[in-house]
Structure 1
Amino acid sequence: MENVDDVKGAVLLFDGVCNLCNGSVQFILKHEKNSELKFSAIQSQAGQELLAKYNIDPAQTNSVILIKEDKIYKESDAVAATSLFLKFPYSLGQYLKVVPPQIRNAFYKGVANNRYRWFGQKESCMLPTPNLRNRFLQ
């Protein structure tokens, strides 16, 4: 495993047992511009180390979290910032920022709070395929 202190670029922390979150990671992998984004399940050792390193309360992680150049993006800000890694037209998600944060985060929280009920969950975190293993921090 790559040491979290040595991670370069951006890391997307996601709920590894959430079907919606896993589907989102698969979508990103399919539509990304290049392979610079790394991923880590929040439940993994690396995910927990990143939460500690950036002083993010694990009890407050009902969100995808993007760490890019030592800056933390949460909730809809993380979605908008992550869209910059995607090919057109998905990169247009960056323009979510024109919607006031109170509105977009209320929508985000509504989905986040109901994600298990609406999309289900796995009993354990997904295992990346061998050709993608280097993109996932364990």
Structure 2
Amino acid sequence: MQPRQAYSYRNDPSVPDFTDDHPIIVFDGECIFCSGWVNFVLRHDRQGRYRFITAQSPLGEALYRHYGLDSRNYETNILLDAGIAYLKSEGSFRMAAGLGFPWTLACVFRVIPRRIRDPLYEVVARNRYRIAGRRNNCFVPTPEHRARFLA
């Protein structure tokens, strides 16, 4: 992915307008592993910081294309925080840090160079359907969490 300016998607006519006043996690809504991560975040995000978008939604697909990612084979979640996209291991560590203590402790793994941790992330991402399976339908939030999902 090419680094982009913060909020660059606002100037991309192919990306629909959306509310970006909270950090946003864009995830593969058909992946049981990814949906499990979202459920984990929903349980532990006591401040209700995060908003969510499924990669399969028109907005999710547009964001993947905007960042030069494959909009059909979602091998990374995207964390949009203050308009900046974080991918792979960096995105995951930042997501965990946003949950507060004790999840911020996961950031100790950031001492591992990205050239080592991102390939490990990619192995899991490529095999996520084999590891956890795939849903027939996209992730559907519970009524109590529906307001935190965009698009």
Q: Same fold (TM over 0.5)?
A: yes
Match of 1:123 in 2: 136
After superposition, the Cα gap between the structure-2 partners of 1:120 and 1:9, relative to the gap in structure 1 and judged at 3 Å, is same
CA distance in structure 2 between the aligned counterparts of 1:56 and 1:11, rounded to whole angstroms: 18
CA distance in structure 2 between the aligned counterparts of 1:121 and 1:37, rounded to whole angstroms: 24
| TM-score normalised by the chain length of structure 1 | 0.88
Q: Could you tell me the percent identity over the aligned residues? A: 32
After superposition, the Cα gap between the structure-2 partners of 1:40 and 1:68, relative to the gap in structure 1 and judged at 3 Å, is same
Is 1:137 matched up with 2:150? yes
Unaligned runs of 5+ in 2: 1-15
Is 1:101 matched up with 2:114? yes
Match of 2:93 in 1: 80
CA distance in structure 1 between the aligned counterparts of 2:43 and 2:54, rounded to whole angstroms: 18
Aligned CA-pair RMSD = 1.7
Q: Which residue identity does 2:28 align to in structure 1?
A: D
CA distance in structure 1 between the aligned counterparts of 2:112 and 2:51, rounded to whole angstroms: 27
Tell whether the 8 Å contact from 2:20 to 2:83 is kept in structure 1 after alignment: no
- Alignment deviations for residues 2-53 of structure 1 (CA, whole Å, 9 cap, x no partner): x64432121101110000000000111111241011011100122123335x
- Alignment deviations for residues 53-109 of structure 1 (CA, whole Å, 9 cap, x no partner): x44332574101101111110000100110122132112122221110011111101
CA distance in structure 2 between the aligned counterparts of 1:46 and 1:132, rounded to whole angstroms: 19
User: How do 1:41-52 residues align onto structure 2 when only pairs under 5 Å count?
Assistant: 41-52=54-65
Secondary structure at the residue paired with 2:100?
coil
Q: State the Cα distance separating 1:115 from its structure 2 match.
A: 0.5
